[in-house]
Amino acid sequence: MGYNCDYCGEARSMVYCRSDAAYLCLSCDRNVHSANPLSKRHMRTLVCDTCNSQPALVRCVDEKASLCQNCDWVGHNGANIGASTHSRQTLNCYSGCPSAVELSSIWSFMESCEQGMDSMSIAENSQENSESKTQDSSLPDENKSDWMGSLNIQNANKSHTIYHEVKPLNSSQSKASYSGTKDPEQLVDDGLYDDFTMDEVDMNIENYEELFGVGHNDPKHLFAKDGIDSLFGMKDTTKEPECSNAASVDSLMSCKTEPNPCYTKQHSNLSFSSLTGDSSGGEYQDCGASSVVPMGEPPWCTPGSGSTSVRSDAVLRYKEKKKMRKFEKRVRYATRKARADVRKRVKGRFIKAGEAYDYDPMTETRSF
DNA sequence: ATTTAATCCATTACCACATCAATGC
DNA sequence: CCGCATTGATGTGGTAATGGATTAA
């Protein structure tokens, strides 16, 4: 699983699309996800270089490898203690149809991906490539690797959003903000993204503050009121709507097949791929989401970032609220309940009127 | 350490029929 | 548009059956 592209079956798979549950090479990724606006929304991430089966969560600079949570743990915390000092960078997912150059700008660390990019078959790439390469040359290497946040790029007839953060795990620059030596706006001024317009109203990190009313670079704001629930749009599960029509919040939370709030957010082009408050699989199940990145810390909460206490508080609040949720059966039609409460039964089953019964709810007596 | 049996626990099906909701006239 | 009749679908609770997980031998 995951060695060869699920689409062409020839090239080595490099990205994983959760929506399609498919491992794709870069060329097929671009082809498949440029088909329609919906497919463009699919969130993809790199595939773990070690196991080739799980979405990569971090990039080990020293090993030059993208690793999933498990392989990262095994490689850096398990038997190989000496590798624990390796410098790692967190990886997030992206959507849309980024060109080879744009992928290169965010995956500058990946030499291997350039090979895949070479085979990208979209014709427009060649032109776009030549144009952007000259622009890209103006960007110092340090800015490539330090660039953070997202790009909402609208180019000609296509647009795509890259959800990507590359930041040193052991650095103080752990906030999800632009922390490179150049301000992103300055990059635009430099002509790097001259062809890109930023007027599309997608939910990206730029307008995150506008939508949520708080800065995106401070995890405290994310969990200030309702913890994880606030992110999922679950304001108060105890005040449920009259359950006549729509599914209740509880059912939404517990149902594993229904669309879930987490995913809805993704449809808003906001990546919540690793925003869960708990890294256990059970929590993910409860949330109803099988995240693109199934395990791991939120991007802003990296080891040594000093925000673990904030996260633990948020997780605590989330669990407390989870305990408060009610799962008791609720009666939608009192009249039917009243009727059922007086009906006679045989071994718990309703019987026709007049037939012998072994249980009468009214008298709690048995006829035989 | 492994296998098998026993136990526990949660989930689901079943039943009749009043009621709901949709449809047609 | 409103009211009525018809029809199919739904939901209600206690018990047994079922199956997975856990424990003991």
Report, in ranges, which bases of strand C sit under 7 Å from a protein C-beta. 10-16
Q: Is the CB of A335 under 7 A from strand B?
A: yes
**Radius of gyration (C-alpha) of chain A in whole angstroms:** 25
Element (H, E) at A152: strand A150-155
Compute mean pLDDT per 10 residues along chain A, 368 residues long, and list them.
64 73 74 66 76 76 76 66 67 67 60 45 36 35 34 33 36 32 33 31 31 34 35 35 33 33 32 31 33 36 54 74 60 84 88 83 57
Give the C-alpha separation, A227 to A321, whole Å: 9
Task: Please give the pLDDT value at position A319.
Answer: 65
Q: Is the CB of A353 under 7 A from strand B?
A: yes
C-alpha distances out from residue A367 to A340, A341, A360, Å: 18, 17, 8
Nearest to A72 by CA among A232, A294, A324: A294
Give the amino acid at A128: E
Residues 216-255 of A with CB under 7 A from strand B: 244
The answer to whether A61 and A26 are in contact (CB under 8 A) is: no
Please name the nucleotide lying closest to A355, CA to C1'. Answer: B16
Q: How is residue A251 written in tokens? A: 């059912």
> What's the whole-model pTM score?
0.34
Task: Please give the pLDDT value at position A92.
Answer: 64
Task: Please give the pLDDT value at position A353.
Answer: 82
- Give the distance, in angstroms, between residue A345 CA and nucleotide C15 C1': 9
Task: Please give the pLDDT value at position A100.
Answer: 64
Task: Please give the pLDDT value at position A139.
Answer: 35
